[in-house]
Amino acid sequence: MLDKTSMDATSTDEVNGAELLSFIERAERLHEERKAIASDISDIFAEAKGRGYDVKTLKAIIKDRALDPAQRTEAEILKDLYEAALSRART
Amino acid sequence: MLDKTSMDATSTDEVNGAELLSFIERAERLHEERKAIASDISDIFAEAKGRGYDVKTLKAIIKDRALDPAQRTEAEILKDLYEAALSRART
């Protein structure tokens, strides 16, 4: 589209409308897909809630499972450390 | 899983592990799909950047196109209004 050394081009002649539209439409299609998936995720949590599960706890477990064992241990150690510091600050 | 009137159940007997795992794994699969799409979106913008397009401008156009005409007009009017107020405040 533009000569990469002349990014300050402002003339419409230098912008390839068809190519531009193709990039935009590709991004828009993926945004739509992402929105559909986000809605499917909401549906799953709604279904789980309907079955009596606590959604916050489910999400906390999913977050934990995304960490590898070393990361999880580190996260737990830091959390304990901070909680101990907070509890000392309160007394 | 739980009787919905006794959400304070804490006994593991009352939690159906298989059902729980199925909810978690369904959500995790969708999270993976969402991540893959986010990465595809990044790829498109990287490609557009490589072709000399300004990514910020592309994203601004995509945002505009997501609004219906009435929303877009309202957004433009509000933006003009706020900019006029800011310009008065500066003088």
Question: Please, what is the end-to-end C-alpha distance for chain B in angstroms?
Answer: 65
- In tens, the pLDDT along A67-87 reads 999 999 999 999 999 999 999
Residues of B numbered 35-54 whose beta carbons fall under 8 angstroms of chain A's beta carbons: which are they?
A: 37-38, 40-41, 44-45, 47-48, 51-54
- B75 is written with which tokens? 């957004």
Instruction: Tell me whether residues B24 and A65 touch, CB distance under 8 A.
Output: yes
- How far apart CA B60 and CA A62 sit, in angstroms, is 33
Judge contact between A62 and B25, C-beta under 8 A: no
Please give the average per-residue pLDDT across A49-56, as a whole number. Answer: 96
pLDDT score at A5: 46
Interface test with A, best of B51, B59, B64 (most A CBs within 10 A): B51
Q: Flag the least confident range among A14-18, A25-29, B16-20, B48-52.
A: A14-18
pLDDT score at A37: 98
Q: DSSP labels for A53-72?
A: --HHHHHHHHHHHHS-HHHH
pLDDT-based confidence at A15, cuts 50/70/90?
confident
Q: Is A78 touching B (CB cutoff 8 A)? A: no
pLDDT-based confidence at A91, cuts 50/70/90?
confident
- In tens, the pLDDT along B33-83 reads 999 999 999 999 999 999 999 999 999 999 999 999 999 999 999 999 999
Q: What is the dihedral of CA B42, B47, B51, B54, to 10 degrees?
A: 0
Selecting from A2, A26, A65 the residue whose C-beta is nearest the C-beta of B52 gives A2
- How far apart CA B10 and CA B2 sit, in angstroms, is 10
